[in-house]
Amino acid sequence: MDEVAQACGVDPATLRRQLNGAFPLYMVTLFQVTRALGLQLRVEAGPSRPV
């Protein structure tokens, strides 16, 4: 956790609180964590629904 927090430029205690729900988790933090872990997030359109 400490290495991920360091790679994100976030204090380890703050990152823990964000991930356990004590602090709000911002999208930028989510992107930084996925990048630090070598992961990618992908968003796809779901099946179309009638309007």
DSSP string, 1-51: -HHHHHHHTS-HHHHHHHHTTSS---HHHHHHHHHHTT-------------
Task: Tell me, yes or no, if the pTM score tops 0.75.
Answer: no
- Mind listing the pLDDT tens digit of every residue in the chain (51 residues)? 899 888 888 899 998 999 899 999 888 888 899 999 999 988 899 998 887
Return the pLDDT at 39: 94
Q: State the Cα–Cα distance between residues 14 and 40, nearest whole angstrom.
A: 22
40-47 own/partner pairs: CB under 8 Å, 24+ apart: none
Q: State the Cα–Cα distance between residues 33 and 51, nearest whole angstrom.
A: 36
